Structure 1
């Protein structure tokens, strides 16, 4: 009997057409939390700013692996995933540019989940609407999840209000991620927050978010 074909890794893309939402920090910590949970993770940086790649150069741990995807490689994302599956990688996390998502459409179409981080402000909510609309128009509403990111640590009626408004736009990931200094300290040291302060509240939130994602997407991906 021939050996079964290798499973292609599951794919999470983090995307929003706005900078300053904490996207790269979220990608880095999710990739680390998933690796700690047993996934073999490759985190791809598609943003010209290269912030995730810079974070990767600070690391000494072998997992997660980090790599760049240049614009001319986006159309080759499917065979890249096949190659990663053959190498035993089980999860890919993609950090996308904080600009038009049209350039990474080929990647988003292959994602099992597109996570849209939004800070709890009216400006951020309005800035995220084009991303949500584009993804919905491309038939990806069922693979779209919104996450409130960089929320104030203290309870706020404003955060509750925006969470309610976002709930009407799509599936809300759980939990919301609060703005805690551990996130900034971890990224500056080339770590995920679950490595930097494993017993802290920020680490608990990231682990819970990874668990929510892990339950939501199929174990073998879409391919």
Structure 2
């Protein structure tokens, strides 16, 4: 099977884009995929997490590869990584600019984390429009979902009006996700027997099913 490219994108900062990228990558690693990460977000948060991981586990024992680079070099680098990996996960800049367009154009699927708030729902539209223009399918993943079901249901109703599929899997507002990131780990490594680990695993499996 040819390698697949999954771009994690969201225009609004603070939506959990990088956290989701890291946890999904390690979930896919645990599911037998050979995973490469590409960090083209100028903030470099994914690269900082990876540095912590390498320091904790050892440079050759991270399980995944990471490349940090400017967006204009991304296409060539992604093509190179596809030769040795089954999945390439791209952490895109949090705004609709040239680098984001390159990341979307290279993808087989764009995954957009969206929190159940009006601002987050509105902020998905530029990224969705960009993906539609590039003819790349989009999957919305509800992230940091609170326990208040009424709020979540209202946001799901709002999301049903956009041109994108909504994942069945949802990620709750779990402190363990941030704690494991701070340790350079994934949630399944840090706290495997938790709801957060099960939610990430479910999302990872669903995304792979959808991408084929």
Q: TM-score, normalised by structure 1?
A: 0.86
Would you say 1:168 and 2:165 are equivalent positions? no
- Runs (4+) of structure 1 exceeding 3 A deviation are none
Paired residues in the alignment total 205
Residue pair 2:70, 2:99 contacting (<8 A) in 1 also:
no
Give the number of the structure whose alpha-carbon radius of gyration is greater: 1
CA displacement 1:3-42 (0-9 Å, x = unmatched): xxxx642111011111000000000000000001100101
Residue correspondence of structure 1 range 1-223 to structure 2 within 5 A: 8-59=2-53, 60=57, 61-74=61-74, 77=75, 79-86=76-83, 88-140=84-136, 143-152=137-146, 154-169=147-162, 170-218=164-212
CA displacement 1:135-165 (0-9 Å, x = unmatched): 223323xx1111111111x232011111122
User: Matched residue of 2:15: which SS?
Assistant: coil
User: Matched residue of 1:186: which SS?
Assistant: helix
CA displacement 1:85-107 (0-9 Å, x = unmatched): 33x31111111111224323223
CA change 1:82–1:100 in 2 (3 A) is closer
CA displacement 1:34-92 (0-9 Å, x = unmatched): 00110010111111110000000011233121220223313xx1x43342233x31111
RMSD (Å), alpha carbons: 1.5
Q: Which runs of 5+ in 2 are unaligned?
A: none
The structure carrying a bigger strand percent of its residues is 2
Q: Which runs of 5+ in 1 are unaligned?
A: 1-6, 219-223
Residue pair 1:8, 1:81 contacting (<8 A) in 2 also:
no
Q: TM-score, normalised by structure 2?
A: 0.91
User: Matched residue of 1:38: which SS?
Assistant: coil
User: Matched residue of 1:150: which SS?
Assistant: strand
